[in-house]
Structure 1
């Protein structure tokens, strides 16, 4: 009886234990159901955000997290950690985006020009001692695809005759006119008059501001590593890569891509006749050269290298050769000598 009575004595606790165990199982079941319901609702939200039209999706601005409180009074006075400047550094290293070229600055190497135009007034008496034999000079500043704006047909016809000294004089202050004659030797042939009619008529600056701007840009080039490069290369070959690198060094990375080396074939030689520099369409009389160049579009190369002619050297050689030709006898020998000079 005692044995049979033991189970009856423990029957109530056993029932409580079974009830507790069943209750735990039921709680676990409800927990799983709740988790599945939450997961399902989350999937619906994300799906709704992905598939909803952009116009119907309202994005709230993210709210800043509240600053953590601290029992240390000095904690609130500590300066914030420095911002990560790696993105800024990377953006400064990037090359500038292509802009739009509005005008072109032409710079001339006069000794090469005078190779084929020896009788022009600016070429007469040129020696290696003259400033225009050791530095770039002005050829002009012209707008892209625009010329002779509101210029009469009569003046345009006169200009086409290339007797530019017969064109109207450009009204400039005496001091500026003197300075321009040095920067632009072609003034002796009326180049300033031609450029004012052809290109100055298509922009808004007055003559003094128009030519003062060109002189300032020319001086910036001649004072820079570009000018030093040209002075060091007189009588030697110079490459477009060297010229572009010099612009990048002294003006801005990518500036050289807006520069084109200009060359001309004279006999069996390729002579560098100057440079053209693309400038921004938004340039004004106060713009600096670097900013104006970076605002223009890059330009493709046409001449990779050439000889930077020294003043008078080739013309003197030609004179000596012509004297030799004069002493050669008639017939095939003389004809051969003449052909060699072309």
Structure 2
């Protein structure tokens, strides 16, 4: 079966019955050295939904050149380690870790995201990849995300973002994102999104997916979060690399907007 014909068959299956199992060939994902935590949450933004639900849309929502990657699927929000043991041993709760992260040890400087960390000196190839994968870099989202979620965990910034971009690429190449892209501009049942995820990544893997919505009645898709075992990044997206996350916040029917303007 040719690649084009195979992909079309997968799309047809998802659209019609959401009943076939497809786990495509995974791109190589470089493992990161996990420092005493169990899993990562890969947070991927549905850029049109994010921009639509912002009262004051940031630069990456206003400038057309910064929105081009939204035509390829999700874009990168962050890669979040779960509560590290050394923080838990000090009495830090999961809720406090998610709220403050590494800022518990090194408080965030006052001001916007750009003050959270110095600019990165990445190689041009990674700089270009990250610019495309993470439109929020225009608002220094990369500096804030690293400072909050990784700077205190001995995760080198270059390795951290190379892995995050690789994970994003794997998700965007999946039949799950095919389903989301096909249904842009329409409403779908929340459960259909979960079923599409399981059709792409394996039976019962929907527990590793947390759907995030915003807007009136939490109906507009803004983000998906995927739980990944910290020791099995290189095996992503195989089912045994996924871990359960808490249920997200989306209404029974979810709107998947397209980028406007």
TM-score normalized by the length of structure 1: 0.54
Q: CA RMSD in A?
A: 2.7
CA 1:292–1:200 in structure 2 vs 1: closer, same or farther (change >3 Å)?
Answer: farther
Unaligned runs of 5+ in 1: 1-99, 317-342
Which secondary structure does the structure 2 equivalent of 1:113 belong to? helix
Q: In the alignment, what sits opposite 2:61?
A: 123
Please say if 1:164 is aligned against 2:114.
Answer: yes
CA offsets per residue over residues 129-167 of structure 1, 9 Å max, x none? 8231451110101122341167533xx133xx3342673
Q: In the alignment, what sits opposite 2:15?
A: none
Q: In the alignment, what sits opposite 2:220?
A: 271
Please say if 1:302 is aligned against 2:256.
Answer: no
CA 1:250–1:166 in structure 2 vs 1: closer, same or farther (change >3 Å)?
Answer: closer
CA 1:194–1:288 in structure 2 vs 1: closer, same or farther (change >3 Å)?
Answer: same
CA-CA distance at 1:202 after TM superposition:
4.0
CA 1:269–1:103 in structure 2 vs 1: closer, same or farther (change >3 Å)?
Answer: closer
Q: 1:104 aligns with which of 41, 45, 56?
A: 41
Q: In the alignment, what sits opposite 2:153?
A: 203
Does structure 1 conserve the Cα–Cα contact (< 8 Å) formed by 2:212 and 2:248?
no
Does structure 2 conserve the Cα–Cα contact (< 8 Å) formed by 1:126 and 1:311?
no
More helix by share: 1
CA 1:196–1:269 in structure 2 vs 1: closer, same or farther (change >3 Å)?
Answer: closer
Does structure 2 conserve the Cα–Cα contact (< 8 Å) formed by 1:118 and 1:124?
no
Unaligned runs of 5+ in 2: 1-36, 83-93
Q: In the alignment, what sits opposite 1:282?
A: 231
Q: In the alignment, what sits opposite 1:63?
A: none
CA 1:203–1:240 in structure 2 vs 1: closer, same or farther (change >3 Å)?
Answer: farther
CA-CA distance at 1:255 after TM superposition:
1.6
Does structure 1 conserve the Cα–Cα contact (< 8 Å) formed by 2:69 and 2:133?
no
CA 1:141–1:269 in structure 2 vs 1: closer, same or farther (change >3 Å)?
Answer: closer
Which secondary structure does the structure 2 equivalent of 1:157 belong to? coil
Which secondary structure does the structure 2 equivalent of 1:311 belong to? coil
Which secondary structure does the structure 1 equivalent of 2:246 belong to? coil
CA 1:253–1:139 in structure 2 vs 1: closer, same or farther (change >3 Å)?
Answer: same
Please say if 1:182 is aligned against 2:139.
Answer: no
- Max Rg structure: 1
Q: Following the alignment from structure 1 to structure 2, what is the Cα–Cα distance between the partners of residues 204 and 119? A: 33
CA-CA distance at 1:291 after TM superposition:
4.7
TM-score normalized by the length of structure 2: 0.70
Does structure 2 conserve the Cα–Cα contact (< 8 Å) formed by 1:107 and 1:276?
yes
Q: Relative contact order (alpha carbons < 8 A, sep ≥ 6): 1 or 2 greater?
A: 2
